[in-house]
Amino acid sequence: MAFEDLLEDPVIQKYLHELVGPKGMPVAAAPPDGEVTDEELAEELDLELNDVRRSLFILYENDLATYRRLRDEDSGWLTYLWTFEYDNIPENLEEEMYRLHDALEQRREYERNHEFYLCEICSIRFEFGEAMDFGFECPECGSPMESMDNDRLVHSMDERLDRLEDELNIDANVDA
């Protein structure tokens, strides 16, 4: 098996699981050294060929596997020889850290600029305008909504943004 050091990382395991799902995990979690065919993987891992192919194509779409095609001269059949490209995992996760950072910044603005009301029975949150339209009564259960303080949310977003900026060497917005 290859890439053991990467696969020891629980976040990377979770990442692969997120991409290929539980059925694809046997394929994603045990990349062989060098090239391999889908049939070989299915046999070795005792999986349905379709499940193996599905995971391989998901990995391919995420730059984590490549293939080359060989045509058998007698039968005319195509064979796909797959190579796992897990060296790209760290760059992919770096990109995800940037995406998460941008989303957190946008969401923090939204949280700061809106007032919220909560139905404590249904745990549903409403923006001020929505809450007013409903007369500050939950449309699901009819109980009165309470004004909700989101300081704790904003504070934890601030903290994570700081850590992401530090890790990625992003200059924080001066006006933020």
Partner 1 sequence: MVTVSISEAEAELTVDERAGLELVRESGGIHQSDFWKELDVSSRKGSRIVESLVEKELVDREDTVYDGHNTYYITPTARDLDFTLLMAGDMLSPFIGEEEVDPNSDAFSQWIMNLAYQE
93 binds partner 1 per the rule CB under 8 A: yes
- Let me know: does 5 contact 21? Beta carbons within 8 Å: no
Q: x-or-dash pattern for partner 1, window 7-46, by CB under 8 A? A: --x-xx-xx--xx-------------xx------------
Choosing from 100, 121, 122, 132, the residue that interacts with partner 1 (CB under 8 A) is 100
Choosing from 39, 48, 63, 87, the residue that interacts with partner 1 (CB under 8 A) is 87
3-state helix, strand, coil in the chain (%, to 5): 55, 15, 30
Q: Which position has the token pair 């990109």?
A: 95
In whole angstroms, give the CA distance from residue 32 to residue 19: 19
In whole angstroms, give the CA distance from residue 79 to residue 67: 10
CB of 4 or CB of 74, closer to partner 1: 4
Kindly state the smallest distance separating residue 12's Cβ from partner 1, in Å: 7
Kindly state the smallest distance separating residue 121's Cβ from partner 1, in Å: 17
Which conformational region is residue 71 in: left (phi greater than 0), alpha (psi within -120 to 50 degrees), or beta? beta
**How many C-beta atoms surround the C-beta of residue 70 within 10 A?**
13
What residues line the site for partner 1 (CB under 8 A)?
2-5, 9, 11-12, 14-15, 18-19, 33-34, 62, 87, 90-91, 93-94, 96-97, 99-100, 102-104, 106-107, 110, 152-153, 155-157, 160, 163-164, 166-169
